[in-house]
Structure 1
Amino acid sequence: MARKIKIPNEHLKRFAREERKRKKDFRTKRQFYLIVCEGEKTEPNYFKGLKEDLPRGVLTYYQIDVEGTGRNTQSLVDEALRLKFAYEKENSRPIDRLWVVFDRDSFSANDFNSAIQRCRDSNPEIGCAWSNEAFELWYLLHFHFYNNGIGRADYQELIEGNLRPHLGEYYRYEKNSEEMYSLLKTYGNQEDAIRNAKRLTANFEGRQDYANNNPSTMVWKLVEELKALK
């Protein structure tokens, strides 16, 4: 029968202290992202899909929370700051990166422009993944470069036109679908979407009349940042 080795109590206590310190150090180094979306389903479903698709190990070192609010423009920024404060109070640690995601839609140019400028002027700056006119522009850029103004009513038809060759003529785009990230990954090209969105951004470089930047989307900035996490 093997002889048991007795470890002195002072060694056990030291090991326990070191383990607690290791866990504390890990929690301190872990980075926290909070992504607050205008839509309650469409945008959160996409970013949750992206989150789960990040390389193994990333979510060990980064906590990424995605919230859908039903708020827009200025009220969305207010809600994002409220959620940030509530989270930090509950967890006794700061949010390292705060992002908001919203669309131009039919909101006034002043509200839309002011919300974006408010994010830029915040300290620290709030990441702002805005789209003009709608988040679905980001989907379309996975297939083609669109350089003409797109009305909100046209997005569904264009998305269906790009996916029906793969999914059949009866495919219908569902705005709150939980499958869009997977469909875009399978049949579209995310790197093309980033390149196409950057080209659109370059068209309006230096301009701050964001409500007139159609088509345009800054979703690529958030996607690129998340994909760069190691």
Structure 2
Amino acid sequence: MARKIKIDNAIIKRRSHDEKKRLIGFKSKRMFYLIVCEGEKTEPNYFSSLKKSLPKGVLELTQIDIDGTGKNTLSIIEEAKKLRKRYEEKYLRKIDKVWAVFDKDSFPSRNFNNAINKGEHSRPKINCAWTNEAFELWYLLHFSYYNTGLSRHQYQKLIEKEINKASGKKGYKYTKNSTEMYVLLNLFGSQNFAISNAEKLEKLYNDRSFSNHNPCTKVHLLIKELKELTEEYAAQQQI
């Protein structure tokens, strides 16, 4: 007959107390993000797919539609401020980080620069994951390093070429509103490579004339933060 091992109640209580402290500690460190996208589908679809890989509740993704040409880009910063307040009132907790995601291609240079500056000087800060010229640059960097300014259409053609090459098939056609891009990029490309390429592009510029930083993207800064968040969560689960 197997011998029963009796565990002291004090040990059980102490272990239970330690586990509660660990969970409370993680909960207090947990970061909550709000991402506000200027685009209609491209950026929201990408971040919606990325959201599925994050711990539940970390990311609230909000899509706002802004008229392209001639629309003052500053409106996305103002909208981000309003949404922060709305979410904090709704969930009765602080939103730790707000990111505004927008491109240069639709807006005048002055408005683009002003939006970035206004976001940086907002209190609390509105972080800007901007891309010059278009968000598709971030996609392309998953496959190759490009330091020549291109149009959105040219980016799209190169994305088709890269995915067809990596998949060993022909006939892939890029669709702007695809819900599969996040999966395709990580299947045939490399997110870490994209981050490395984006960092190389950053080093090409040392002034604040952001509208002239072409090509350039700051999307990798947001992606790196979200990756670190996921890694921290995974480490906590193993404790």
Q: TM-score range by the shorter chain?
A: 0.7 to 0.9
Provide the aligned length of Structure 1 versus Structure 2.
Answer: 205
Counterpart residue type for residue 102 of structure 1: F
Cα 1:152–1:24 change in 2 (3 A) is same
Instruction: Map 1:66-145 onto structure 2 (within 5 A).
Output: 66-71=61-66, 73-145=73-145
Deviates more, 1:218-227 or 1:117-126: 117-126
Instruction: Map 1:34-45 onto structure 2 (within 5 A).
Output: 34-45=34-45
In the alignment, the residues of structure 2 paired with residue 85 and residue 124 of structure 1 have an alpha-carbon distance, to the nearest angstrom, of 11
Instruction: Map 1:39-78 onto structure 2 (within 5 A).
Output: 39-54=39-54, 59-60=55-56, 63-71=58-66, 73-78=73-78
The match for 2:19 is none
Cα 1:219–1:26 change in 2 (3 A) is closer
Q: Quote how far apart the aligned CAs of 1:176 are.
A: 0.9
The match for 2:183 is 182
The match for 2:197 is 196
Gap runs ≥5 in structure 1 = 1-21
Q: Quote how far apart the aligned CAs of 1:171 are.
A: 1.1
1:154 and 2:154 correspond: yes
In the alignment, the residues of structure 2 paired with residue 130 and residue 50 of structure 1 have an alpha-carbon distance, to the nearest angstrom, of 17
The match for 2:228 is 228
* Matched-pair contact (CA < 8 Å) for 1:48–1:66: yes
Cα 1:194–1:25 change in 2 (3 A) is closer
* Matched-pair contact (CA < 8 Å) for 1:40–1:67: no
* Matched-pair contact (CA < 8 Å) for 2:48–2:61: yes
In the alignment, the residues of structure 2 paired with residue 95 and residue 192 of structure 1 have an alpha-carbon distance, to the nearest angstrom, of 30
Percent of residue pairs bearing the same amino acid type = 48
The 3-state SS of whatever aligns with 2:34 is strand
Q: TM-score, normalised by structure 1?
A: 0.82
The 3-state SS of whatever aligns with 1:31 is coil
The match for 1:18 is none
Q: TM-score, normalised by structure 2?
A: 0.79
Gap runs ≥5 in structure 2 = 1-21, 233-239
Structure 1 ranges of 4+ moved more than 3 A: 22-30
Counterpart residue type for residue 213 of structure 1: H
In the alignment, the residues of structure 2 paired with residue 135 and residue 26 of structure 1 have an alpha-carbon distance, to the nearest angstrom, of 33
